[in-house]
Each structure stands twice: as C-alpha cells, then as structure tokens.
Amino acid sequence: MLSLPSARGPLTELLLDALPAARHRLPAVPPEPADDDDLHLALYLCYELHYRGLPGVDERWEWDPSLLALRGALEERFEAELTAAVPRVAERLAPEEADVALREVEEGDDAPSLSRRLERDGTVEQFHEFLVHRSAYQLKEADPHSWAMPRLWGGPKAALVEIQADEYGGGRADRIHAQLFARAMAALGLDSRYGAYLELLPGVTLRTVNLMSLFGLHRRLRGAIVGHLALFEMTSSIPNRRYGDGLRRLGFSGDATEFFDEHVEADAVHEAVAAVDLAGGLIRQDPALAGDVLWGARCLTWVEAAWTRHLLDAWDARRSSLRAPLTVAA
C-alpha cells in the first residue's frame, strides 16, 4: 500500500489517527460507523495488518489487544449483517452431494451477469474500473484462503494445497496469479502497485474482500472459507473466458488477457478438486460443518451480487462506479 487512505467517517477517523502514532489503548467501544464505506474500510485496514501491513504503521499493532477488540466488534456487526441476509442454519449433507449442493447455490443466484455485459458491450473505461475494483483482492489473490491451511488436515488440506499451488504459480514467481493480474493492469495503463487505488474503492467492493478475511482468520469459520473457495473456483472459468474475450474485442491481447485466459484453464481443473475433495472431503471428516460450507458459498453469492449491481447501476446511469472518476495513463 502506497499511503493510508482518507477517513470516511468517525470509525476510520479513529483508526487513521491512532495507527500512525505510538501504540496506545483504543476505546473499548468503537464509534458507530457512518455507513458501509466507513465500516468496511476500517475492517479492511485492520485485516491488512495481517497481510502486507500499512505504511508508517508499527507492525506490533497487528496483535495489539485493544485493536483486536475493536476489530472483533466490527466483525460482529459484519457477521450480523451476513446472517440477516443469508440465514445460517445447521444442515445435513452427504459428502458426495457437496458438488450438487454447491451448484444449487450458484443456480439460485439471480444477479445480472457482469461478465456477459463486459464481454459484449464493455468499454475500455468500464474494464479499467472493473480491474481497479478487483485489484483489492486479485493483487493478493489466494492469500485469504491460505489461512485455512493449518486448520485442515488429510484430504481437504491436500486439496487446498493443490489449488493454492497453482494460484501461486507452481513455484514460478512470474506465474503467480496476482502477478499476472498486475501485468494485466499495467497493460491497460493502470497503476499495478499494491493498494494504489484503495482511496477509490467503495465499501461494497471492500466487503467482498473482508468476507474472505473474516472467514479465513477464524478457525470457527473454516467451513465457510472452504465453501467460499469451492464455489469461487466452480464459478470462475466461464466469467474469465468472457472477460478475456471482451478485452480481445477491444483490441487487447498478451499481458492484458493472460490472467483471464490462465483462469479459464486452471479453474476448470480446480472445479472438481474444490467441490469433491475440498468441500466434500471436509464434510466427510466433520459432518457438522456442512451448514457452514453452504453458508460460506451463499455469502459469496450475496456480496458478489451486491457488488455487481453497484457496477451495473452506475454504468447504466453513465457515472463512475468508483468513489471518484478514474484517471488512467495513456
């Protein structure tokens, strides 16, 4: 991250005043967030301490008890929002039925298709915004799901490692998927540095990333992060083909499309591993986690649907989907 963003309300104002200073005790009761932008930027900043850190912020804040207490209060609010929108119930599911159950989650998603829109009608400017939104996750692609590794064992762990090994380039730094995404951004004239566009990202985008961090950083939610990743992999191949085709329609190739083309092939392979060996394997080990696996998948569809509608509504109204219009280098 190049620099800390501007505050968006009393919650982020508290954090952005406190974190660059020497460590001290934060208020036991955090202020009420002004809106989703305030809440999810605050959570994103708290979580970022567990990834690449924050510029000018003492790394010891990562495990500061008062900051963890504040983050916990924000997570309770976020989790309450999720359970209100996506009821969390105990479910019984045979391991061999995990694939079918996850596909039913996908089929129940009635959100409009962003990938089809960009494939057929997307403009260069809309692709710029799309890549900026996705940079919040794609520049650290796979990292949130990797938190689950030490919390799994046996077959599910092996399945997760198989998927993640591909995400991290199979040992080749130039093939790490986050690096491929950075090259795609650069090919379209965007700033590919980590966190360069955080100032422009609305809460509805940050929520999609915070969901993964919430699930990944809590052992009690290991079923949810598995369900999230399983559905993520099962539904990725076709949209990525469409994104690549949309860019080719606009005259782009090479680095601009390689990230998307790579995911068409890789995620087609991951699909069965994620559904059968990872999700199904975890349910076989611990049947009580079946409900959490499906809940994590349903939460993914809910946050992604809200994000998709935000982009399409903005574009239909001929305005930017970002918090401010984007300036792109030639």
Query: H or E element: which one contains 13?
Result: helix 10-18
Nearest-Å Rg of the Cα atoms of the chain is 19
Give the integer Cα–Cα distance in Å for 140 and 121: 28
Give the integer Cα–Cα distance in Å for 276 and 270: 10
Residues 6+ apart with CB under 8 A from 213: 43, 47, 50, 144
DSSP state of 54: -
On average, the pLDDT of the chain sits at: 95
Output 277 or 107, whichever has higher pLDDT. 277
**154-176: pLDDT as tens digits:** 999 999 999 999 999 999 999 99
Query: H or E element: which one contains 215?
Result: helix 203-217
pLDDT category of residue 328 using cuts at 50, 70 and 90: confident
Asked if 24 and 18 touch (Cβ cutoff 8 Å), the reply is: yes
Q: Would you say residue 36 has pLDDT above 90?
A: yes
Q: Would you say residue 329 has pLDDT above 70?
A: no
Q: Spelled out in words, what is the top-level CATH class assigned to the domain 95-316?
A: mainly alpha
Q: Would you say residue 131 has pLDDT above 60?
A: yes
Give the integer Cα–Cα distance in Å for 73 and 30: 8
Residue written as tokens 């991951």? 270
Give the integer Cα–Cα distance in Å for 330 and 328: 6
**294-321: pLDDT as tens digits:** 999 999 999 999 999 999 999 999 999 9
Q: Would you say residue 330 has pLDDT above 60?
A: no
Tell me the mean pLDDT in the region 223-252: 96
Where are the CATH 1.20.910.10 domain residues in the chain? Answer: 95-316
pLDDT of the residue at 213 = 98
Q: Would you say residue 268 has pLDDT above 90?
A: no
Asked if 294 and 89 touch (Cβ cutoff 8 Å), the reply is: no
pLDDT of the residue at 232 = 95
Determine how many CB atoms are found less than 10 A away from the CB of residue 54: 23
Q: What is the C-alpha end-to-end distance of the chain, expressed in Å?
A: 23
Give the integer Cα–Cα distance in Å for 242 and 118: 7
109: left (phi over 0), alpha (psi -120 to 50) or beta: beta
User: Which segment of 13-17, 27-31, 127-131, 217-221 scores lowest on mean pLDDT?
Assistant: 27-31
Output 108 or 326, whichever has higher pLDDT. 326
pLDDT category of residue 267 using cuts at 50, 70 and 90: low
pLDDT of the residue at 1 = 82
Q: How many residues does the chain have?
A: 330
Tell me the mean pLDDT in the region 116-133: 98
pLDDT of the residue at 106 = 87
Its pTM stands at: 0.96
Q: Would you say residue 266 has pLDDT above 60?
A: yes
Tell me the mean pLDDT in the region 229-233: 96
Instruction: Please choose, from the candidates 159, 283, 178, the residue with its C-alpha nearest in 3D space to the C-alpha of residue 222.
Output: 283
